[in-house]
Amino acid sequence: MAWVWALLLLLSSLCVKQSSSIISLGSSLASATQSIPWRSPSGRFAFGFYSQGGGLSVGVWLDGGGKNDNKVIWTANRDDPPLHANATLTLNEKGLLLSSGVSGENKVVASPNDSAVSVFSASMLDSGNFVLYNKVNHTIWESFEHPTDTILGGQALLTNQELISSSSENDHSSGRFHLRMQLDGNLVLYPLNIDDAATTAYWATGTNGVNLSLRLFLNSTGFLQLINNTDSSIYLEINYRFYQEVSYNDHNENTTTSSNDGIVHSATLDVDGNFQLYTHQFEPSGGFRTSRVLRALKDYCKVVGFCGINSYCTFNDDRAYCACLPGTDFIDPQRNTLGCKRNYSEAHCKGGKDNIPLYNITPLQNIVWTTGIFYSEELMSMSACSQTCLEDCNCEAAQFSGGVCRKQKLPLWYLLRQEGDNDVSSTVFLKMGIRSLEADDGTVPHELKPQIKGKDPTLKILLLTLSLVACSCALLAISGVFIFKFRVLRYKRLLEIGNLGLTGEVTLTSFSYNELKRATNGFKEELGKGSFGAVYKGSLNRGRNLIAVKRLEKLVEEGEREFQAEMRAIGRAHHKNLVRLLGYCAEDSKRVLVYEYMGNGSLADLLFKSRQRPDWDERTRIALDVARGILYLHEECETPIIHCDIKPQNILMDDYWRAKISDFGLAKLLMGDHTRTFTVVRGTRGYMAPEWHKNIPISAKADVYSYGIVLLETVFCRRNLDTTVSNPEEIILSILVYKCLVEKKLEKLVLGEEVDKKSLERMVMVALWCIQDEPALRPSIKTVVMMLEGITDICIPPCPTASSI
Ligand SMILES: *[C@@H]1O[C@H](CO)[C@@H](O)[C@H](O)[C@H]1NC(C)=O
Ligand SMILES: *[C@@H]1O[C@H](CO)[C@@H](O)[C@H](O)[C@H]1NC(C)=O
Ligand SMILES: *[C@@H]1O[C@H](CO)[C@@H](O)[C@H](O)[C@H]1NC(C)=O
Ligand SMILES: *[C@@H]1O[C@H](CO)[C@@H](O)[C@H](O)[C@H]1NC(C)=O
Ligand SMILES: *[C@@H]1O[C@H](CO)[C@@H](O)[C@H](O)[C@H]1NC(C)=O
Ligand SMILES: *[C@@H]1O[C@H](CO)[C@@H](O)[C@H](O)[C@H]1NC(C)=O
Ligand SMILES: *[C@@H]1O[C@H](CO)[C@@H](O)[C@H](O)[C@H]1NC(C)=O
Ligand SMILES: *[C@@H]1O[C@H](CO)[C@@H](O)[C@H](O)[C@H]1NC(C)=O
């Protein structure tokens, strides 16, 4: 191998004019030897392994030649953890594959869209583009089409593509901000932790409304342009007018007049959310000098979400700082932008005058919200404003200015401290809990804890007893797994499961990784990607039994035995409204689950995407199916399970259009230590109960909240949060529905569809009860089922608030 390299290097040094150095089939790079990367002819760009986060990643970088740090331009599979084992990159007909030492598993780094096309060669070009060619030298894959956080001169951000900032300078996984080239022609910066909306955009070109298909292009002399996709004309120069800071100090005459040869231009969405344009001037002696030319925002506090929850941003001496609100401390003192957590435990809010001994109100001057989404705005006096927040359990803070009192709930986000002279007299009243007596006797009960903490001794004992006593069948069958290791038998059993729909105890099959690889044809057909990992279609028994295979990622480290115990707990949950777990694989660090295959997609597809939306009867049936599935999880199965992520995407439709809940029992695999539930909020925005954002225990009522949102969405076939509607009052479905319920105009919302008015009203009221902020106000899922079935009467619910939206 070494001589090939020597030859290649020799060639590239001899033929300076050559525009590309060809990497031929069979070429490989090994991480262990930190072998010489594949360089572009000029030597400025390199492709290969680089160090990141204590391991190695594969990517493209601008080579500092030892004179200065390399600048990473692109990372392959950026959200995969860095490699710690020895790995090899190999170019074959399928593409560029990464095989890591121990498992010998191949990961795709680059491969053509069309698997029928075979790769012939690859090249690291002088533009910084890494490309794959076919036999006739046509580009069939290029890194330029898959940007991460940077585009280079000559590269475009295509319509509907986005740049996502990195987590930190040393961690190139997806971070907190994104820059979208939107379908509507607008180029916009948003924080990633909240749905994109006009209110959270913090920089934009304002080119929306022209209904043009545009792409962002950085031309090779460093000009950013929006290009008309139809005729490739320049629609807009994104010049200094769009930037708050322009520094031409390093961009002197010399560099602009001398040939452009020594300069590489780049535009990067930086870790801190700013979009910046750089030049990298290569020195004849090696290395390069980086200068910033343009910066979208000068004041980082204008970056929405620069500081995390419970903190505010101050801008001082050209730098932005995050500071904690009173009563909170930094989540991670090393990383102040992550936000702050409360340092007191909260009393159970009682509401009204009863709150007075429980809370203090602290007035803060000069603090404002960068994006004001308040749940209540009323004219009143300053003291009344402070008082109303104190007495309102939903209120966490209120902003008083100009006689208007605006109340804000958790999470407290996007706060900014305005310095000095602007005489906007605005006061924020922050409500702070006085350390409660309940908290003094130790920790607050945490209902989820026994579920989530695998290491809890009582849980272990419980599991042990359960697995010993509960079902001799299971034990019998477990030993069966060891005895009948022959695949044929295994498949036969699966066939029985599939065909007979056995309701009793059926053991889970423990598969080998290779079996599943075969069954899915090498994880070829991806059905979807969930929060736990990708799902692939597969088949067993020569294609007669279809299965869905889920490869789990980002799990909490845990041993094989704990994993098997969790699997058995999930496997014991059998209900017609739950997706059946058939088996699993736990091999080395691989964790794979095998489920029955659901042929008709998810409820989300059915409600929001399908042309023919399900009729009223079908929707009521689905709503009841889902509630019954949750009832089983909460109250009827052996080990009660809190799902933690109920949403239409997790509700699948079987061949008979019966709704079945999937992904139950997985939350605890992800969460591990319960202390992380506060910072690493699980679940999905929009469906998450407000308590996820507060430092209070999560109970089964969190699922009831999510169910309430799903119920509303099922009833009205639209998302709870729909920013595409024209009337701003209609953006949040729950608020709109409440208004119509009170005004007795609910049928207005079903757009002329024939529905049973009584049943519509009943479902709406159930949903509104479910989405109450206060968990205690929400009914149990059992009550929900009874209310939906019409067994229990329902009274008019209080107004819901759009807290977690
Ligand atoms: C990686 O490979 C090198 C050389 O082949 C070997 O010395 C080293 O032990 C390997 N490391 C691991 C973690 O396998
Ligand atoms: C493809 O490019 C390589 C290197 O530039 C050249 O040697 C080869 O002949 C080209 N092949 C075709 C079919 O053009
Ligand atoms: C690959 O597929 C994507 C979307 O499916 C498309 O936008 C892109 O142009 C394709 N790339 C090539 C090189 O065919
Ligand atoms: C924008 O253009 C597309 C096709 O070019 C068209 O289908 C769509 O209706 C247009 N939208 C508006 C708001 O004009
Ligand atoms: C880049 O765009 C600028 C401004 O439109 C233009 O003057 C320049 O010639 C362009 N550079 C190239 C290489 O096309
Ligand atoms: C974009 O290109 C199309 C097709 O040539 C043209 O009709 C349209 O006027 C262009 N739009 C603008 C704003 O230049
Ligand atoms: C301009 O470039 C020349 C040659 O590259 C160099 O000698 C000179 O110092 C440069 N001038 C400035 C002001 O950087
Ligand atoms: C919480 O932090 C504040 C300052 O950030 C401090 O004054 C207060 O004493 C702390 N409270 C507790 C209970 O630690």
pLDDT in tens, 30-60: 887 666 889 999 889 999 999 888 888 999 9
Beta-bridge partners for 363? 429
Q: Does the beta carbon of 134 sit less than 6 angstroms from any atom of ligand 2? A: no
Q: What distance in Å separates the CA atoms of residue 647 and residue 483, rounded to the nearest whole number?
A: 40
Question: Which ligand 3 atom lies nearest to the CA of residue 140?
Answer: 13
Q: What pLDDT band is residue 110 in, cutting at 50, 70 and 90?
A: very high
Q: Are the C-beta atoms of 419 and 315 separated by less than 8 Å?
A: yes
What average pLDDT does this structure show over 299-307? 87
CA angle 611, 613, 617 (to 5 degrees): 160
CB 267 within 8 Å of CB 218? yes
Q: Whose CA is nearest to atom 5 of ligand 1?
A: 32
Does pLDDT of 14 surpass 70?
A: no
How large is the greatest C-alpha to C-alpha distance in the chain, in angstroms?
87
Residue nearest to atom 3 of ligand 7 (CA): 254
Q: pLDDT tier at 76 (50, 70, 90 boundaries)?
A: very high
18 lines ligand 2 (CB under 6 A): no
Answer yes or no: is pLDDT of 447 > 60: no
How sure is the predictor about 470, in pLDDT bands with cuts at 50, 70 and 90? very low
Alpha carbon distance 593, 564 (integer Å):
11
* Ligand 1 pocket, mutate which of 29, 34, 35, 86 (most atoms under 8 A from CB): 86
The Cα–Cα gap between 235 and 214 comes to 8
User: What was the pLDDT predicted at 1?
Assistant: 47
The residue behind tokens 């909306």 is: 197
Token couple for 336: 């102040």
677-710 tens-digit pLDDT = 433 445 667 788 888 777 677 888 999 999 999 9
Any bridge partners for residue 65, and if so which?
68
pLDDT at 549 over 80: yes
Per DSSP, helices labelled H in 487-543 are 487-500, 513-519
Single out the catalytic residue among 645, 663, 703, 773.
Answer: 645
Instruction: Decide: 77 and 109 in contact? Cβ < 8 Å.
Output: yes
Does residue 38 or residue 211 have the better pLDDT?
Answer: 38
Tell me the pLDDT tens digit for each residue of 586-632: 888 888 999 999 888 899 988 988 777 888 888 999 999 999 999 99
| CA 218 to ligand 2 center in whole angstroms | 28
Return the top range by mean pLDDT from 468-482, 489-503, 611-625, 703-717.
703-717
- Cα gap 346→369, rounded to integer Å: 24
Could you say which DSSP state residue 445 is in?
A: P
Of 206-210, 242-246, 268-272, 443-447, the range with the highest mean pLDDT is 268-272
**Residue 251 pLDDT grade (very low, low, confident, very high; cuts 50, 70, 90):** very low
* Ligand 1 atom with the shortest distance to the CA of 33: 4
521 pLDDT more than 60: yes
Q: Is 121 in the pocket of ligand 2 (CB under 6 A)?
A: no
β-bridge mates for residue 107, sequence order: 98
Confidence band (pLDDT; 50, 70, 90) for 227? very high
pLDDT, one tens digit per residue, over 619-671 is: 999 999 999 999 999 988 877 888 888 999 999 998 878 899 998 888 766 55
The predicted structure's pLDDT at residue 214: 92
Q: Write out the DSSP string of 227-283.
A: EETTT--EEEE--GGG-SEE--TTS-HHHHHS-GGGEEEEEEE-TTS-EEEEEEEEP
**What percentage of the chain carries pLDDT values higher than 90?**
25
pLDDT score at 683: 61
What is the structure's pLDDT at 273? 92
Collapsing DSSP states into helix, strand and coil, what is residue 479?
helix
Ligand nearest to the CA of 34: 1
Q: Which of 702, 691, 686, 681 is nearest to 348 (CA)?
A: 691
Q: Domains in the chain, please, with CATH? A: 20-146 (2.90.10.10), 147-304 (2.90.10.10), 347-433 (3.50.4.10), 509-596 (3.30.200.20), 603-788 (1.10.510.10)
- Rounded Cα distance between 567 and 551, Å, is 14
Q: What is each CA distance from 674 to 15, 449, 677, 678, in whole angstroms?
A: 60, 6, 5, 8
Q: What integer pLDDT is reported at residue 309 of this predicted model?
A: 83
